[in-house]
A and B are shown apart, each in its own frame.
Chain A
Amino acid sequence: MFDICELHEPETLQEAKRIFHDNPDLKVIAGGTDVLIRMQHGSLAGAGLLSLRNIRELEEIRMLGDGTLSIGAMASFTKIFQDDLVQKHVPVLSEAAVSMGGPQVRNVATIGGNLCNGAVSADSASTLFALDALLKLENLEGERIIPMGDFYAGPGKVNLGPGELLVSILIPREGYEGMGGRYIKYAMRKAMDIATLGVAVVCKVRDNRFAELRIGLGVAAPVPIRCFEAEAYAKGREITLECVQEIARLAVKPSRPRTSWRASKDYREHLIEVLAQRAVAEAVKRAGGCCAH
């Protein structure tokens, strides 16, 4: 049995915001595949839970009028992996979603839960960061929309104010249109594993030059990061093997990987360079470019 003292199961977002406003100490539970495991390990003892599972409106994935793809925070990884809009417009997110956990976990785990955990290894985070995604947060007083980069406050910490819930993830049209992408998860096992390193790349190619390149890294620093120097270097440059190699070298610069039992700092730095090169090359290919020479 889990050490739970109370369970709130609102059916609307409004009701959830009201309950959270009145009880800011509640622990929000989405799919439960992290919260319940932590409880099984003895943390969060005696917690009161605010379950978002019954709020259907938070599961929706839809295209807004201005071309922004809106993904409800309670959309499961399986739903994101299989969703037609995601597959058509941001296939790289579908690729990241199916790399997380195993089928049973993906069937219940949610993208909102993945982000709100603040885990640097979150498979969706580096990809959403590379896609320039925005997060829509709401509490009873109102809403705010913040970029991914402002959400992560430290390992396991995110910038959610009192009574605030992550409602949806917004990927503006400029974030994904015309982009080829690739997510590479490096882990010891192909399933049911946590990333040793995650690299997400999206790029736009024009006349075999980088019109735009964005790189997001997971487990490369205390929080998911972007490689802005590498991105700036790429802009406008002709796509050659040397150029891609230089981008990969620059991608290591903003990283601050640590040594853990999964991998040493040196090994992670090596992974960033090698995987960034592979991910950029594949993203280029998917964007219609070529870096064969």
Chain B
Amino acid sequence: MLTKNAAGVAARKRLSMTVNGRAVEIEIDIRESLLDVLRDRLQFTGVKQGCSVGECGACTVLLDGTPVNSCIYLAAWAHGKTVTTIEGIAQDGKLSPVQEAFVEEGAIQCGFCTPGLVLSTTAMVESGHTYTHDEVRRELSGHLCRCTGYQKIVEAAERALRDAESAVDESPV
């Protein structure tokens, strides 16, 4: 399929995706990043614009459950995919267990990196895998935080993973 931009007129494409559980149909400009569309057109401002070159992780969203940097991902590529932003994590005004863990561990200071870190941690929790301390650090290594020194963030992620594991253990067979 070709989307062409003739004589300075921006080429457009119809995009169907699911954002935070809701079906979205939107006409986008092929030049837009997924970050542009989520922030500026759909007003999901929890998706932060940081470095714009995939270094800082502030723009992280889950794409079919997998963390990606939305600043270096073409919006056109999200066609048919399921996108989760931080706005889709709390349900009915109630924080998710991962968000609770970040609060409990004091893993938040200015908050700019927090949406991305909560989403990457959510992806780990939902994978159902177990992670060693080093693996948790590795899975969070695509996020820059200039406030906390990371220690409390790693502790929050480990707490969330531990809680999820014990929730599975206690569930009726």
Query: Which residues in A have some Cβ–Cβ distance to B below 8 Å?
Result: 1-11, 19, 32-33, 36-37, 40-41, 51, 53, 78, 98, 101-105, 107-108, 190-192
What's the nearest-Cβ distance from chain B to residue A154, in Å? 25
Across the interface, B33 reaches (CB within 8 A) one of A2, A41, A53, namely A2
Cβ–Cβ contact B142 & A40, under 8 A: no
13 contacts across the A-B interface (CB closer than 8 A): A6-B4, A8-B2, A32-B72, A36-B33, A102-B141, A102-B142, A102-B143, A103-B120, A103-B142, A104-B57, A190-B141, A191-B138, A192-B55
Residue in B54, B140, B142 with the greatest tally of chain A CB atoms within 10 Å: B54
Across the interface, A36 reaches (CB within 8 A) one of B11, B60, B67, B72, namely B72
Across the interface, A32 reaches (CB within 8 A) one of B30, B67, B74, namely B74
User: Does B3 interact with chain A (Cβ within 8 Å)?
Assistant: yes
What's the nearest-Cβ distance from chain B to residue A24, in Å? 15
Chain B 7-37 residues near chain A, CB threshold 8 A: 11, 13, 29-33, 36
Cβ–Cβ contact B74 & A104, under 8 A: no
Q: A7-B11, A102-B57 are in contact. Are A1 and B142 (CB under 8 A)?
A: no
Chain B residue nearest to A41 (CB atoms) is: B53
Query: Which residues in B have some Cβ–Cβ distance to A below 8 Å?
Result: 1-5, 11, 13, 29-33, 36, 52-55, 57, 60, 66-69, 71-74, 76-77, 120, 138-143
Q: A37-B53, A37-B72 are in contact. Are A1 and B141 (CB under 8 A)?
A: no
Residue in B60, B67, B72, B74 with the greatest tally of chain A CB atoms within 10 Å: B72
CA distance A1 to B74 in the complex (A): 10
CA distance A41 to B13 in the complex (A): 25
Cβ–Cβ contact B77 & A51, under 8 A: yes
What's the nearest-Cβ distance from chain A to residue B127, in Å? 11
Cβ–Cβ contact B5 & A191, under 8 A: no
Which 7 residue pairs of A and B lie closest in terms of their CB atoms, listed nearest first? A102-B142, A191-B141, A1-B31, A36-B72, A104-B142, A7-B30, A5-B5
Apart from the given pairs A36-B54, A101-B54, A103-B142, 10 other A-B contacts in the complex at a CB distance below 8 Å:
A2-B33, A5-B11, A6-B3, A7-B30, A7-B74, A32-B74, A102-B141, A102-B142, A103-B141, A108-B72
Chain B residue nearest to A98 (CB atoms) is: B138
What's the nearest-Cβ distance from chain B to residue A231, in Å? 32
What's the nearest-Cβ distance from chain B to residue A143, in Å? 25
Q: Which residues of B contact A191 (CB under 8 A)?
A: 138, 141-142
Cβ–Cβ contact A33 & B67, under 8 A: no
CA distance A10 to B29 in the complex (A): 18
Cβ–Cβ contact A103 & B54, under 8 A: no
Chain A residue nearest to B11 (CB atoms) is: A6
Q: Which residues of A contact B74 (CB under 8 A)?
A: 2, 7, 32, 36, 51
Q: A10-B1, A37-B53 are in contact. Are A103 and B139 (CB under 8 A)?
A: yes
Q: A9-B1, A102-B142, A191-B141 are in contact. Are A108 and B30 (CB under 8 A)?
A: no
What's the nearest-Cβ distance from chain B to residue A17, in Å? 15
